[in-house]
Amino acid sequence: MIPITIKRPTIDDVDLLHDFFKLVITDTFQKEGIKDQTGDLLAEIETKKRYLAIDLESNGEERYFLIAKLEDLIIGTIEFGPSSALICQCTNDQLKDVKEVGTIFVHPHYQQRGIGSLLLKEIYKEMDKRGVEAFCLDSGYVHAQLVWKKKFGTPDYIFKDYWDIGYDHMIWKLSIREVRK
């Protein structure tokens, strides 16, 4: 088996990452049954592109991305940075000073193979190195929420029917020390 490489993105990865964001977010919207919400889909893609640009412009200081590659194919991404406006709004700024882990995407053909967990372990190391003691993570996607509940337990915040009936928004606040055990 060819080993997976976890690395920081470079300017040479930008076009591939933009395509990757489009692929994974489109797949997610289809699986969630919300593929007709093209405005939200496009906004999500643009947000991820903006976060990547911030990472590259700040050399990982303002946002910090990692990518998982199998040869030349990007099969996963993760990043951390400031809590999103959505998290701040939903929690009345209770998490505004807590780093957010986001953009945890795995290529549809490589899901359920431990790639997300591998990326999380690597991002924990970087946050720990930077002295980050806690982080938050949020999700409005039903399928992702099942994964996060299994991995992290009950969310700290649940916003019932936030996106629509049956589409809650969930936020977890986690300790680096606890998740690294």
pTM given for the model: 0.92
Which stretches of the chain are assigned E, i.e. beta strand?
4-7, 64-70, 73-81, 99-106, 134-139, 157-164, 167-175
Distance of CA 154 to the CA centre of its chain: 18
Between the CA of residue 117 and those of 44, 113, 148, what are the distances in Å?
22, 9, 11
The residue type at 58: S
Range with the lowest mean pLDDT among 31-40, 56-65, 148-157? 31-40
Per-residue pLDDT, averaged over 61-75, amounts to 96
Spatial strand order of the sheet with 64-70 comes to 4-7, 64-70, 73-81, 99-106, 134-139, 167-175, 157-164
Q: Where are the domains of the chain?
A: 4-179
Task: Name the token pair of 97.
Answer: 């000073």
Question: For 49-76, what is the mean pLDDT?
Answer: 97
- Percent of all residues in the chain with a pLDDT value above 70, rounded to a whole number: 99
117 phi and psi, to 5 degrees?
A: -65, -40
On the question of pLDDT at 47 being above 90, the answer is yes
> What pLDDT, on the 0 to 100 scale, is given for residue 1?
52
Q: What is the mean pLDDT of residues 74-98?
A: 96
pLDDT for res 37: 86
Per CATH, domain 4-179 is 3.30.2400.10: no
The arithmetic mean of pLDDT across residues 44-57, rounded, is 97
Average pLDDT in the 62-66 region?
97
- The pLDDT assigned to 107 comes to 97
Place 167 in a pLDDT band, splitting at 50, 70 and 90: confident
Residue 22 pLDDT exceeds 90: yes
